[in-house]
Chains A and B, each alone.
Chain A
Amino acid sequence: AQRVTQPEKLLSVFKGAPVELKCNYSYSGSPELFWYVQYSRQRLQLLLRHISRESIKGFTADLNKGETSFHLKKPFAQEEDSAMYYCALGGSYIPTFGRGTSLIVHP
């Protein structure tokens, strides 16, 4: 069965500190992975997907098939990054979301 694991419910950092939100997945085929973000009082929106290999708002994520991971990273956190972040396994499969990690960036 496919599964997405986000081990941290909450990640609290200070402004300017590096951030890494962890995501591990379980799937037997070739995965397609996404990070979605939900800011306070806003709807879920796509942050980035692995096939595009883009950097969005300073965030990057690399798919590591050996470790079955897709961790989200940002070298210097900003206060406006405070939000809920969801890792998702999608593509041709039934989309599966992790439980989410709440990122709080303190001034």
Chain B
Amino acid sequence: DTGVSQNPRHKITKRGQNVTFRCDPISEHNRLYWYRQTLGQGPEFLTYFQNEAQLEKSRLLSDRFSAERPKGSFSTLEIQRTEQGDSAMYLCASSFGLDRGNEQYFGPGTRLTVT
């Protein structure tokens, strides 16, 4: 297990198109988080899963965004009808959860550019 992986690493799309990102967490981790990061800012929470259950969603997550984690393993984040404001780095992180201190392990991120 080489850590959290994300695919693709870069995505360029035209406004109005749909995009989907994938995150493969560390296999023993039951929590999985999605963040968005723009230039000059820290990671901004979007949503998280405890196993396959999506327990929390940020109010920033519009209805164009949807995330899934089937079977509690990998997760996908889909953005429909992309807008230029969606251009950002999308980060995934996983953790054991609160009983192990909830230390988060981050993936390398997917950089989205909407033209």
Interface residues of A (CB under 8 A from B): 4, 6, 9, 32, 34, 36, 43-46, 49, 51-52, 86, 88, 90-92, 94-100
Contacts and interface: CB of A to CB of B under 8 A. Distances in A.
A32 B100 CA distance: 13
B41 interface: yes
A86 B42 contact: yes
B103 A49 contact: yes
A43 B102 contact: no
B42 A43 contact: no
Contacts, number: 57
6 contacts: A44-B43, A45-B105, A46-B104, A49-B103, A86-B42, A97-B42
Interface string B56-97: 101000000000000000000000000000000001010000
Contacts of B105: 45-46
Contacts of B41: 99-100
Contacts of B3: 43
Identify the interface centre among A34, A44, A92, A100: most chain B CB within 10 Å of its CB. Answer: A44
A28 to B, nearest CB: 18
Identify the interface centre among A6, A43, A51: most chain B CB within 10 Å of its CB. Answer: A43
Contacts of B58: 94
A98 B45 CA distance: 11
Contacts of B104: 36, 46, 90, 95
Contact of B102 (A91, A98, A99): A91
Interface string B23-50: 0000000000101000011111100100
Contacts of A44: 43, 91, 93, 106
Nearest to A52: B101
B42 A99 contact: yes
A88 B98 CA distance: 15
